[in-house]
Amino acid sequence: MSRRVEGQASAQPNIVKAHEAVPTDKEGNLSMKTAGRLSVSVLGAGLIGIDLTTKIMRSDYLDLRLVAGRDAATPGLRQAAQLGLPIATEGIHSLIGAEDPFDVVFDATNATSHAEHAEKLSASGTMLIDLTPSKLGHMVIPTVNRADIHAHRDLSMVSCGGQASIPILHAITRARRVDYIEVVTTAATLSVGRGTRLNLDEYVETTQEAVRDFTGVKDVKAILNISPARPPATFRVAMTLLGDELTEDPVRPLVMEVANDLRAFADGFEVKACTVNDGKAFVAVEVASSGDRIPRYAGNLDIINSVAVHVAECYAVDRLEMAGVETL
């Protein structure tokens, strides 16, 4: 379980508000700049959390109200404050003690802590988007099961390797019988934060389970390589599929179609190899970061954050349309 820095949660969280972070009118109500957008918070200010803040700030549907961590001296919270965002240092207690519940919370902490966060936020009706490999929430791959987003309140983003591979694997296994799948993910050591390192076993187990669930293939193996190479290796996922029915057509067209769909919200996604020989298909993809707050080689962070923001925007569009609010 996660630990607080000090004491018990106070009735009101210690939130440091940056100048003009949340535009309001004279009566304290949200200005037109934030009207029609859902209020969101980022829980966790590590490598994933600070890149998330930048992506959320560009969204037409999401209004970032708070970045919560545990130590105001951490680089992530310092950067958030420099961006003009309200920050808090009491972790999950900062969220549950807020005056108004958030519409969406992004959990960018670790798998062990997510259970506590889900429990504490369950009564608020908040949509919780889990970027940890906890396996607790409903797994979502937006190009595959986007329709599930609105039906659940705790959504798992699986893993960076899962988001880069499962859309392709799902498409292939729908078209052809596959007996075995292997997914090898390689990420630069500089792009792998403390939270991920604490959850390496969970990462592999969650990725394997998600591949099985979305493809129906029972024999699945997931491998994670953390590369110390210099210069740092660009995030890469290599997929091997075995099946007597596998042929160049339709495998290659399907892979290219899925890649094009993914680039709608993860524009650094690129197919590097796609071959099929004697019932064996090999597909390798790389993801380059957009380079906002993280280096271009850190595509592992970029893809899971891009997917998480996309999922939140899908939820926002659904909710706003149900409320009769016109969307873009």
Of 101, 49, 104, give the one whose Cα is nearest residue 80. Answer: 49
Q: Distance (Å, rounded) from C-alpha 277 to C-alpha 320?
A: 48
Query: Which residues have C-beta within 8 Å of that of residue 119, sequence separation ≥ 6?
Result: none
Based on its alpha-carbon atoms, the radius of gyration of the chain, rounded to whole angstroms, reads 20
Query: Exactly one of 47, 141, 160, 178 is catalytic; which is it?
Result: 160
CA distances from 237 to 104, 113, 186, 222 (A): 29, 27, 6, 10
**Half-sphere exposure of 142 toward its Cβ, with a 13 Å CA cutoff?**
22
**Is 314 in the active site?**
no
Catalytic residues: 160
